A and B are shown apart, each in its own frame.
Chain A
Amino acid sequence: MRKLRHWGPGLLLLSPSLILLAVFVYGLIAWTTKVSVSDEHNALGSKGFAGLENYTKLFTNDINDRFTHSLKNLLVFTVVFLVGAMFFGLLWAFILERGVKAEGFFRTVYLFPMAVSFVASGVVWRWLMNPNKGDSAGGLNSVLGGLGLDFLQNTWWTNPDWGMAAMAIPAIWQLSGYVMALFLAGFRGIPQELREAAAMDGASTYRLYRNVIFPQLTPVALSALIILGHMSMKMFDLIMSVSGPQWLTEVPAIYVWQTLLTSDYAKAAAISIILLLLVAVVIVPYLIYTNRQEKNA
């Protein structure tokens, strides 16, 4: 009883949040799941039970395999975005960690795109990624032309195979700075004694980073990957403002929106739940893992 009086008030203080999240996260997910197994395909909203039909249809009987195409787009986008943002983030953090004058200035500039919304940056990226080449080139293509790198000119997001890789460029631009900030904090969090000890052992700079510093950054890298990864899966506003909703650059999040416009709630819900599952497959193990790590500590 004394124990309860001990922690009871804490739970009480927390309870409004818990109730809200129980309703608005878990409750609504359950509701969406229910819609996804119904036959609510128009605004009239018949509410019969359709089982898993909406799901199987997405994979087997969607016109032009539209859904699997959107998944493929998402995969290309995610891979390029993650690799790109991690690479530049780490590189920038590394440059700054090696010691650069006016570091604060560089840091601020590298980080600033993060403050900009995708809707706003989409306005300029749509223009920069103008697909025209040669004489009528604009945007990035004209820069490449001007630098004599004509062979690098390309059609950006309008390319049917690798368009989604180009679509990841604005996302990389926007979030590399964030990854840099994470890594920079990680670098700075490494105790000076570790570096000194390694120096005493006569380790080369390469060895120092390879064997001492980078291993310390693994947790940072993991959390950066998780954060970027779940952002990528939800990607919506960037694509909406660069290409608009269309076949070429459709990802599940946009497909949901397009489907809702025609009031096909059941199908939209099914896509949403698949999207949720995709995220959960990555996030849930991560959350369990970190929870366990913490207990061990």
Chain B
Amino acid sequence: MRFTRRAAVAAVGVAALLTATACGSSDDSSGGGSGSSKVEVFTWWADGGEKAGLDGLVKQFGTDCAGQTFENGAVAGGAGANAKSVLASRLQQSDPPDTFQAHAGAELQDYINAGQIEDLSADYDSWGLKQAFPQGLIDNLTVEGKIYSVPANIHRANVVWTNKKVLASAGITKDPTDLAGFIADLDKVKAKGIAAPLAIGKDWTQLMLFESVLITDLGPDKFTGLWTGATDWNDPLVTKAINDFKTLLTYTNSDRDALDWTDAEKLVMDGKAAYQLMGDWEAADLDAKKFTDYAWFTFPGNGDTFQWLADSFVLPKGAKNPEGTKCWLKTVGSDAGQKAFNTTKGSIPARTDAKPADYPKYQQAAIADWKSFKQVPSCAHGSACSQGWQGAANSALGKFSTNSDVAELQKAMATAASEFVKK
């Protein structure tokens, strides 16, 4: 009986306490501002240079769209992997943000197919964007005559970032131009006692490296063909590329599957590695982290190939504040908006009328390259392949990281292609 009474007191006490807490905080939390002037912008730009770029854009949005307030819906992690899973949930829950970030190209196609985003063609005309963006990009954005997104930038994926001090101590003075040269340099760094000179992270970062090797071994045209069905994944050149990729993996850190790209970046910053292949958002991130001893070169053997991806913004069906969102999209596409965004984000403007002089050193080079280089898309970043294909590729690379079975990877990629390539 003693027990019962004490239990009663405790239970009632706890219940009362909890109810009080719950009621005390019963401000609206599940609703969200319907019909409001808030624009919820969903991105995966939560840290470093990416965050800085977003902040710049937000500032411009404040000037251009008086009366509208920006609401940050950023979800961090994994170059968008986390965000995309949250986004997929929200779209499936019919609770879309007012606008979200999507890679132009095949990835955008998924949302279009699912009927989740609105046609923006008319706005393109009224905002004069068709003239502002290069024709090639417009072609990539156009699906059956309609355009569904406004690109904020162009990124480049096939860049190797280096720690200058480490390279100097290994006596490396020239950038390698082919794979053999790169491997020779990796050996030199290794001889200096750095066991894993090439820093890398988990699946999708490995896919990026693999794609760069594919570009080197197949050349840009055949590489692009891999994603359109024009090139057979069973091609012996692919076998060669997988073998080269396998060799490169032997120079990487063994804990790769536990690391995100920023962890790998830290290895380079700390001098525990000399190289990392990563998109050029790394430039802004290194700047934001006040690391200055870095340099870059195009992945050896890629020559004049610019592997691009573009972050673009869309208007989802069912957005709560379409007017505000359109104003956001207009800002994103405007000259001032692109400048505010790209000068800090590390990317280059999608508009052709941007002035290179406004940009930091790396981007000046990239702007020039974008104009003259051969452009190829990226699967790891959704411009080449759909999300389903990307998932299959990441999984296959994840397996390769554990067993280095060349034939198996090739077979897996070939099967994935036959499953996902548009017939």
Contact = CB atoms under 8 A, between A and B. Distances in A.
Instruction: Report which residue of A43, A69, A250, A258 has the largest number of chain B beta carbons within 10 angstroms of its beta carbon.
Output: A43
B75 to A, nearest CB: 14
Given A63-B412, A160-B403, A248-B257, A262 B391 contact: yes
Interface stretch (B26-34, B316-324, B361-369, B393-401): B393-401
A31 to B, nearest CB: 16
A132 B267 CA distance: 13
Contacts of B85: 257, 261
A59 B350 CA distance: 45
Nearest to A263: B114
Contact of B88 (A69, A132, A155, A260): A260
Contacts of A262: 110, 386-388, 391
A290 interface: no
Interface residues of A, number: 28
A32 interface: no
Contacts of A244: 78, 81, 202
A24 interface: no
Contacts of A43: 110, 113-116
Contacts of A64: 395-396, 399, 408, 412
B18 to A, nearest CB: 15
A160 B255 contact: no
Interface in A176-235: none
B113 A44 contact: yes
A263 B92 CA distance: 9
Contact of B257 (A130, A158, A260): A158
Contact of B415 (A63, A250, A261): A63
- The dominant DSSP class at the B interface is helix
A247 interface: yes
Contacts of A248: 257, 398, 401-402
Contacts of B228: none
Nearest to A45: B114
Nearest to B202: A246
B380 to A, nearest CB: 14
Nearest to A64: B412
A42 B419 CA distance: 13
A131 B88 contact: no
B243 interface: no
B257 A63 contact: no
A237 interface: no
Nearest to B398: A247
A243 interface: yes
Contact of B114 (A44, A130, A131, A158): A44
A132 B388 contact: no
A66 interface: yes
Contacts of B81: 244
A131 B110 CA distance: 36
Given A160-B403, A246-B398, A247-B402, A63 B392 contact: yes
B93 to A, nearest CB: 12
Interface of A: 42-44, 63-64, 66, 69, 130-132, 136, 155, 157-158, 160, 243-244, 246-248, 250, 257-258, 260-264
